[in-house]
Amino acid sequence: MELPPRPKLFDFHGVSMTHYFTDNWENIQNFQARPDDILIATYPKAGTTWVSYILDLLYFGQTAPERQTSLPIYERVPFLESDFHILPPGTELADKLSTSPRLKTHLPVQLVPKSFWEQNCRIVYVARNAKDNEVSYFHFDRMNQAHPEPGDWNNFLQRFMDGKMVFGSWYDHVTGWWERKQTHSKLHYVFYEDMVEVSRTTSCAIKVLTSLQIM
């Protein structure tokens, strides 16, 4: 089967995006967060799936262990802004969860639905070293059909430094969330490298977050 063409980048409210993350925009912005929601926020390739698994185990590992084998991670921790057309949009998946949803997003802080701030939700933001983040992003984009063609390394490096990536500039993303941390007491700002260091000294994945005083 022939794959659809790679999407093109375009400017969306000052942030480079592709249509897979903007086609459902009205529903994204009108999404109603719940007071006990936990939002996982990262720049792409900064530990999103890792933290998603940890939080899901932390909250449901004992009470509903069947979740680990009966539901894929994208249903347990929906990707808020995703609309890939072969699956229900992330907002729809989140609304269907009987438990309070554990959501993930790559949106820069200024584009996050206002209901998360109004409900004073807990947020876990993970920041990763720019160099490692970029290398991971490059290899991810080589296989990810929802992003533009990465081109060669030199071209990709220049785009990364210029902020011409899906979800925009790495620098703007990590600094924007850091600044919001100063006014939102329930925003826990975590460094990927600290999580790696903690994971080396414990055999329990859940302790990675609890030892960093996130939960």
DSSP symbols for 94-116: HHH-SSPPEEEE---GGGS-THH
Instruction: Assign 75 a pLDDT band (cuts: 50, 70, 90).
Output: confident
Tell whether 160 is covered by a domain: no
| Model confidence band, residue 200 (pLDDT cutoffs 50, 70, 90) | confident
Q: How far apart are CA 160 and CA 137, in angstroms?
A: 9
> For 107-156, how does the pLDDT look when each residue is reduced to its tens digit (9 = 90+)?
999 999 999 999 999 999 999 999 999 999 999 999 998 899 999 999 99
Range of the domain at 71: 17-132+167-210
- DSSP single-letter state for residue 63: T
- CATH number for 199: 3.40.50.300
In a domain, 56, yes or no: yes
* Mean pLDDT of all residues belonging to the chain: 89
Helix (H, G, I), strand (E, B) or coil at 17: strand
Specify the pTM: 0.90
In total, the chain counts a number of residues equal to: 215
pLDDT of res. 212 = 47
Instruction: Work out the pLDDT band at 80, boundaries 50, 70, 90.
Output: very high
In-domain check, residue 137: no
pLDDT of residue 61: 66
Specify if 60 maps to a domain. yes
Residue spans of alpha helices (H) in 144-212 = 153-162, 170-181, 192-199, 206-210
Q: Considering 106, 147, 173, 188, which one is annotated as catalytic?
A: 106
Tokens found for residue 162: 């210029």
Strand partners, 188: 124
How many domains does the structure of the chain reveal?
Answer: 1
Is 184 assigned a catalytic role? no
Comparing C-alpha atoms, which of 214, 48, 66 is closest to residue 127? Answer: 48
34-69 pLDDT, tens digit per residue, is 999 999 999 999 999 999 988 888 877 666 667 777
